[in-house]
Amino acid sequence: MATETQSIDPALLSDLVPIKALSPDHLQELANKSSLCEAAEGRALFKSGDAAERIIYVLEGQVELTTESGISRQIAGGSKMSKLPLEQGKVHQYTAIAKSNVKFIKVDPNLLDIMLTWEQSGGYEVQEIDTDNSNDDDWMSRILQAKVFQRIPPANIQKIFMKMEAKHFRKGDFVIQQGDEGEHFYLIREGKCEVVRKTRKNPEGVTLARLGVGDNFGEEALISGGKRNASIVMLTNGVLMSLSKSDFLELMNEPLLNWVSFSEAKEIANGQGIWVDVRLPAEFQSQHLDGSVNIPLPLLRSKVDRLEKNKKYIIYCDTGRRSSTATYLLTENGFEAYVLKDGINSVDNDLLVS
């Protein structure tokens, strides 16, 4: 059996794909919750058919991956291929045998996916506020004109306004703070806010956008299950309408997300639908669906205007977490978009290309 320790230097993770895309803080957190393991020559790291509870990266030594049909390949620690997971998916398609003494890392895929989604879904389009209308009293009418509400069933809209709570803020108040858990979705009824994010280069924070009456925020952390990726600060006194996470997911998120199985997605694609992979380029290059285009989630907002409104889009990632965030964004902007249920982890390896 493999021996396992719990202490990992984050530097061991910093060159691995897609882990290297994480911020230093998340890299440290992932290192704290990952395992450094060793296996003697001849030992199995995992077997075909086993549940894939962890992602494995080879640091030292050599591992042979073999399918049930006998097809095999070898991965050596320190090679280019060792920067990628030995295998991805819910169930192992290969049996992995140590061909020498091996040192490897085990990472929780769910935690990694949450961190990637949190960090990659933080883009905001900088908006100029129309000051002539920012004090418009008919805030409900302005909100209902938003594309996102045009796709929600009328019965849900009525429930949304019934369940919303008015919250009063003063100039300078933080509505949400970067790093907090996501608990509410907000609509601006009165006042103005700014979106600020702290980065390693700008620890004091960078202003990403200005928001006014009728704008909304807070949905990304609720959809992804991650933490807030930016802070919202009041520029003026104001009133925000707050919707709880459970009500948002039930009344706003689910009606906008069209989940489809792989067979259903193929039918849409055959009808001239477009596969969109929202993972990072290195993940896409490692393994993707044939014919798909790669638009990483962090870049999706900036590329929305280049997409054709008369097309259908099937969005996927590894698990469905990042793609559900991307699909909400596209639907919010008036596109017909679908989420591949469980992502490509549910697709047979022989249907993927690299």
Is there a contact between 85 and 19 (Cβ–Cβ < 8 Å)?
no
Residue 318 lies in a domain: yes
pLDDT at 100: 95
Mean pLDDT over 227-247 rounds to: 91
Boundary-marking domain end, from 223, 255, 287: 255
Tokens linked to 279: 């993972």
Residue 113 lies in a domain: no
Is there a contact between 279 and 18 (Cβ–Cβ < 8 Å)?
yes
Range with the largest mean pLDDT of 31-35, 142-146, 170-174, 201-205:
170-174
Tokens linked to 176: 């949400």
Which active-site residues does the annotation give?
Answer: 317
pLDDT at 56: 94
pLDDT at 126: 37
Q: Are residues 241 and 304 in the same domain?
A: no
On the 0-12 / 13-18 / 19+ scale of CB atoms within 10 A, 31 is buried
Is there a contact between 211 and 188 (Cβ–Cβ < 8 Å)?
yes
Say if residue 127's pLDDT is above 60. no
Residue 117 lies in a domain: no
Sign of the Cα torsion 294, 297, 299, 301 reads positive
Q: Are residues 101 and 167 in the same domain?
A: no
Helices (H), the chain: 24-32, 109-120, 139-144, 147-150, 154-163, 219-224, 245-248, 254-256, 262-270, 281-286, 297-303, 321-332
pLDDT at 142: 67
Mean pLDDT over 257-274 rounds to: 92
Of 209, 204, 207, the closest CA to residue 188 belongs to 209
Sign of the Cα torsion 141, 145, 149, 152 reads positive
Q: Are residues 247 and 261 in the same domain?
A: no
Q: Are residues 223 and 137 in the same domain?
A: yes
Question: CATH number of the domain that 284 lies in?
Answer: 3.40.250.10
Mean pLDDT over 128-144 rounds to: 51
Q: Are residues 91 and 155 in the same domain?
A: no
Residues above pLDDT 70, as percent of the chain: 89
Mean pLDDT over 280-307 rounds to: 91
Q: Are residues 103 and 196 in the same domain?
A: no
Boundary-marking domain end, from 255, 282, 315: 255
CA separation for the pair 87, 270 (Å, rounded):
28
Is there a contact between 190 and 205 (Cβ–Cβ < 8 Å)?
no
Say if residue 132's pLDDT is above 60. no
Full residue range of the structural domain in which residue 59 is found = 3-107
Is there a contact between 203 and 210 (Cβ–Cβ < 8 Å)?
no
Tokens linked to 282: 């290195």
275 CA to centre of own chain: 17
Mean pLDDT of the chain: 85
Who's near 288: CB < 8 A, 6+ residues apart? 277, 294, 344, 352, 353, 354
3-state secondary structure of 206: strand
pLDDT digits (tens, 9 = 90+) for 65-98: 998 888 888 999 999 889 989 988 788 888 999 9
pLDDT band at 124 (very low <50, low <70, confident <90, very high): very low
pLDDT at 121: 64
Write down the pTM of the prediction. 0.69
Q: Are residues 243 and 131 in the same domain?
A: yes
CA separation for the pair 38, 22 (Å, rounded):
25
Is there a contact between 96 and 352 (Cβ–Cβ < 8 Å)?
no
On the 0-12 / 13-18 / 19+ scale of CB atoms within 10 A, 351 is exposed
pLDDT at 128: 36
Tokens linked to 34: 């990952």
DSSP assignment of 139-156: HHHHHHTSHHHHTS-HHH
Residue 24 lies in a domain: yes
Residues above pLDDT 90, as percent of the chain: 42
Q: Are residues 86 and 144 in the same domain?
A: no
> Which residue did the predictor score with more confidence, 182 or 158?
182
pLDDT band at 3 (very low <50, low <70, confident <90, very high): low
- Flag the least confident range among 100-109, 215-224, 254-263, 318-327: 215-224
